[in-house]
Amino acid sequence: MGIKDMHRRSRLRKPTWIIILVSLVCVFLVVAYIYPPQDPTACYILSSSSCQTISRWRSRSPPEREPSEEETAARVVIENLLNTPSIETKNPKIAFMFLSPGSLAFERLWDKFFQGHEGKFSIHIHASKAKPVHYSRYFQNREIHSDKVDWGKISMIDAEKRLLANALKDPDNRHFVLLSDSCVPLRSFEFVYSYLMYTDLSFIDSFEDPGPHGSGRYSEHMLPEIEKKHFRKGAQWFTMKRQHAIIVMADSLYYKKFRDYCKPGMDGRNCYADEHYLPTFFHMFDPSGIANWSVTHVDWSERKWHPKSYGLKGLSLQLIKNLTSITESVHETSNAKRVTTITPCMWNGVNRPCYLFARKFLPETLDKMIDLFPSYTTI
Ligand SMILES: *[C@@H]1O[C@H](CO)[C@@H](O)[C@H](O)[C@H]1NC(C)=O
Ligand SMILES: *[C@@H]1O[C@H](CO)[C@@H](O)[C@H](O)[C@H]1NC(C)=O
């Protein structure tokens, strides 16, 4: 072999190696694309940026759905409202919104609750059947224009929106509490005020229930805007910060989906908008802005169609103390497995008691509750 031959061979060798190397890298990338690295070690080897690139490729396939014009508009309004800092006012108040067929059985108890805190609250009553008779000056002339409410139907949400709209008219109202005629306070006004005001959360109950009383109520007519994986369930009784109340007022697209496709008898199933609209809506748009539990306690342990009613029998200071000492929220799925999820109630990073109010209390408990109120609110 002559000198010239050797030169030619080494010149040949370089490009061959480069081709092999490039091919190997290509094969590696194709494999990494098809089988994306699942564990952090793989990402470390790949370097984090290429790892992110690969996972971005993955999440783009299948390509994201093109939102409709109406959806784009709805999202941009919601996102802008979420990013707008709230305006502070001098005299922040809490709006207590009562949803009731008529008179409020616990008005005299609430009167005790509100006494001495004038100027820090406002009361709004939606009486859907009969004009209430009042026993407390705080409740006089506080009825708003109301309409008929059918249990489990969209008219329930309409009543909630009517209350929110009315309470929002006062710029001092910073937090909005929805209560029923069977709700009682479990805490003093000061406790409730600081619990709701000094956190950035709305206490909206929201959890995923794959069972028949949860996602089983979902209808594909809600597509494409609302996917089954986003469908949530939660108790109707919420508290909401002002920003969220405004967002509820601004929404019509998602509201209409629930109005039209989540109702009793939909596709042969019963869906109740008041148990799904807000839990789903806020899960989609501001999951970390909601606590995922309701500050209104209710006892479903009897597993009947309606929760346990608290009557005079068994009512004691100890019972109320028990309710106020609960620090975990419990959710149970409605499928055969009945999976129970227990979550500590976290308030500004600290585990605290979950409940400020409780239902369902029977009217017969009124006098006893008035007697007990000073005792259970001073502990
Ligand atoms: C509420 O639940 C969602 C998940 O469903 C979670 O992303 C969010 O962080 C939770 N909210 C809080 C305040 O923990
Ligand atoms: C209160 O809770 C304790 C401890 O869980 C229980 O033993 C007791 O029976 C409860 N009392 C009432 C009145 O519910």
pLDDT, average across residues 53-68: 56
Name the residue of 312, 315, 317, 318 to mutate for ligand 2: max ligand atoms within 8 A of Cβ. Answer: 318
User: How long is the chain?
Assistant: 379
Name the residue of 215, 238, 290, 341 to mutate for ligand 1: max ligand atoms within 8 A of Cβ. Answer: 290
Find the CATH number of the domain harbouring 220. Answer: 3.90.550
Tell me the two tokens of residue 329: 């929220």
- Contact yes or no for 132/143 (Cβ under 8 A): yes
Each residue's pLDDT tens digit, 132-177: 999 999 999 999 999 999 888 999 999 999 999 999 999 999 999 9
Q: Is residue 162 part of a domain?
A: yes
CA neighbours closer than 13 Å in the CB half-sphere of residue 140: 4
Q: Identify the pLDDT of residue 277.
A: 96
Q: Tell me which residue has tokens 């709305």.
A: 202
The Cα-based distances of 357 to 113, 189, 228, 297, 309 in angstroms read 11, 11, 31, 6, 14
Query: In terms of pLDDT, which residue wins out, 265 or 206?
Result: 206
pLDDT-derived band at 50, boundaries 50, 70, 90: very low
- Contact yes or no for 246/80 (Cβ under 8 A): no
Query: Please, what is the average pLDDT of the chain?
Result: 87
- Contact yes or no for 153/273 (Cβ under 8 A): yes
Q: For residue 316, what is the enclosing H or E element?
A: none
Question: Is 204 touching ligand 1 by the criterion CB < 6 Å?
Answer: no
* Ligand 2: nearest atom to the Cα of 316: 13
Instruction: Report the separation in Å between the CA atom of 299 and the middle of ligand 2, taken as the mean of its atom positions.
Output: 14
Q: Is residue 213 part of a domain?
A: yes
Q: Identify the pLDDT of residue 17.
A: 64
Convert 58-93 to b/e letters by CB count within 10 Å (16 or more is b): eeeeeeeeeeeeeeeebeeebeebeeeeeeeeeeeb
* Ligand 1: nearest atom to the Cα of 201: 13
pLDDT-derived band at 301, boundaries 50, 70, 90: confident
375 burial via Cβ count (<10 Å: 0-12, 13-18, 19+): exposed
Tell me the two tokens of residue 126: 């939606």
Q: Checking DSSP bridges between strand 173-180 and strand 93-100, what pairing results, if any? A: parallel
Tell me the two tokens of residue 144: 């708003």
The answer to whether residue 55 scores a pLDDT higher than 70 is no
Out of 30-34, 288-292, 337-341, least confident range: 30-34
Q: Is residue 313 part of a domain?
A: no
Separation of alpha carbons 364 and 375, rounded Å: 19
Each residue's pLDDT tens digit, 82-119: 999 888 899 999 999 999 999 999 999 999 999 999 99
Please list the residues that pair with 202 across neighbouring strands: 290
CB-based contacts of 352, cutoff 8 Å, min separation 6: 195, 327, 345, 346
Residue numbers of the domain that contains 282 = 70-293
Q: Is residue 358 part of a domain?
A: no
**For the whole prediction, is pTM greater than 0.95?**
no
Q: Identify the pLDDT of residue 170.
A: 96
- Which is it for the CA torsion 20, 24, 27, 29, positive or negative? negative
Q: What angle do CA 98, 278, 204 make, to 5 degrees?
A: 70
DSSP for 223-261, written as a single string: TTTS-GGG--B--S--EEEHHHHHHHHH--HHHHHHHHH
Q: Tell me which residue has tokens 């329930």.
A: 156
Q: Is residue 54 part of a domain?
A: no
Overall number of domains in the chain: 1
Q: Is residue 242 part of a domain?
A: yes
Nearest ligand, CA of residue 322?
2
Q: Tell me which residue has tokens 């092999």.
A: 20
The answer to whether residue 8 scores a pLDDT higher than 50 is no
Q: Identify the pLDDT of residue 51.
A: 46
Question: Is 329 touching ligand 1 by the criterion CB < 6 Å?
Answer: no
Amino acid at 295: V
Tell me the two tokens of residue 135: 């026993």
Separation of alpha carbons 107 and 114, rounded Å: 10
Percentage of residues of the chain with pLDDT beyond 90: 71
Query: In terms of pLDDT, which residue wins out, 198 or 49?
Result: 198
Nearest ligand, CA of residue 291?
1
Question: Is 291 touching ligand 1 by the criterion CB < 6 Å?
Answer: yes
Q: Is residue 65 part of a domain?
A: no
Residue nearest to atom 2 of ligand 2 (CA): 322
Q: Tell me which residue has tokens 């093109």.
A: 66
Nearest ligand, CA of residue 205?
1
Tell me the two tokens of residue 3: 């000198």
Q: Is residue 344 part of a domain?
A: no
Separation of alpha carbons 346 and 315, rounded Å: 28
Please list the residues that pair with 351 across neighbouring strands: 346
Separation of alpha carbons 359 and 328, rounded Å: 17
DSSP-assigned letter for residue 110: H
Separation of alpha carbons 240 and 16, rounded Å: 67
Amino acid at 103: S
Question: Is 345 touching ligand 1 by the criterion CB < 6 Å?
Answer: no
The Cα-based distances of 79 to 74, 82, 95, 243, 278 in angstroms read 9, 5, 25, 11, 16
